Structure 1
Amino acid sequence: MNNIKPFLLAIYISLVLTCQDRVLADCTTTRDVIVPKISEWQVQVINSLTTGETLFIHCKSNDNDLGEHNLNFSERFSWNFGENMLHSTLFWCYMSKDDGHMNVKVFWDDVILFHRCDWKNCVWTAKTDGVYLWNSAIGEDMLSEKWEVGY
């Protein structure tokens, strides 16, 4: 009984590796049915601090460190990625300005977040009072996190 899982996994992998792409309907192929396409996403962080401060950001996931960046007013940092098959992709950013800082999740598997990001593009904007997520469903920024005092 303990050998069934590895056996089924081996069958699944062999099907994935050997199946041919045959169009089933419109642009769906047999490979899409066996291995669904992983969602492609973009996350953007924008400095809209009206005080003209530099926004420091350091974004990462469990697998990727995107480095440290200093953004001047109206500059943005963005990256593209595909969500993993386990739907456990998580990105977060440490952000700081002259008199505040925060750790904020900028991407995680959540239907509400996906809806707000229009299923492809999460836009985070740092403002004087906190960080906002652009909610494309209603066409406005929504306050997500307030700055913590200090740095």
Structure 2
Amino acid sequence: MKSFIFLFIYLVFTTNASPIAKTLTAHTLKSCPWSYWTIFIYNAMNDPIKVNVKSKDDDLGDHTLAFNENEKWGFCENFWKTTFFYASFNWNGSRTASFGVFDKTTTPHCSKWRFTYSRVCYWLVRDTGFYVGPHLTPFPDGWTKLHDWSRMT
């Protein structure tokens, strides 16, 4: 009987069709063994930028982001918490950057774990570099600069 109750409770909280899940907000907890993450990359520059995001298993493709546009994706963090997403950026063909946009070094700058919400990480791309934060707030409040642009040679 205890197993049945546990199974029922597990299904209620992890199935998207449950009435409880429908009452939660947009950043709801998905059926993941660990954290469900949503990552945003916003272009805060007047010029368009090219972005390519990859992981070991997925290539999210090449995207061109105009001013105030964003690239967004979500995923379940793996059991070992070693999920890694890498991004390559190109600005006007003269500046580039490549780094991990989701790994152990970025997660401390993202939102904290809450039971009914997915975790969120926001990246802000500016001409001065790459900033990460837990919320989409006016610049520079709450943003931490982690990377710079490199010049192409």
Determine if the TM-score, normalized by the shorter chain, exceeds 0.5: yes
State which of 39, 44, 47 in structure 2 corresponds to 1:48.
44
Separation of aligned partners in 1, 2:150 and 2:121:
22
Q: Within 5 Å, give how 1:1-151 maps onto structure 2.
A: 20=4, 22=6, 37-49=33-45, 52-98=46-92, 99-109=94-104, 113-119=106-112, 120-136=119-135, 139-150=141-152
1: distance between equivalents of 2:10 and 2:108?
A: 23
Q: Distance in 2 between matches of 1:66 and 1:20?
A: 39
Runs of 4+ in 1 over 3 A off after TM superposition: none
Choose 1 or 2 for highest CA Rg.
1
Contact residue 38 and residue 83 of structure 1 kept, 8 A: yes
Say if 1:135 and 1:142, in contact at 8 Å, map to a contact too.
no
Gaps of 5+ in 2: 15-31, 113-118, 136-140
TM-score, normalised via structure 1 length: 0.70
Matched-pair identity in % = 23
How many pairs align? 122
Q: Counting helix residues as a fraction of each chain, which structure ranks higher?
A: 1
Per-residue CA distance 1:32-62 (angstroms, 9 max, x = gap): 9xxx82210011100001xx21110000100
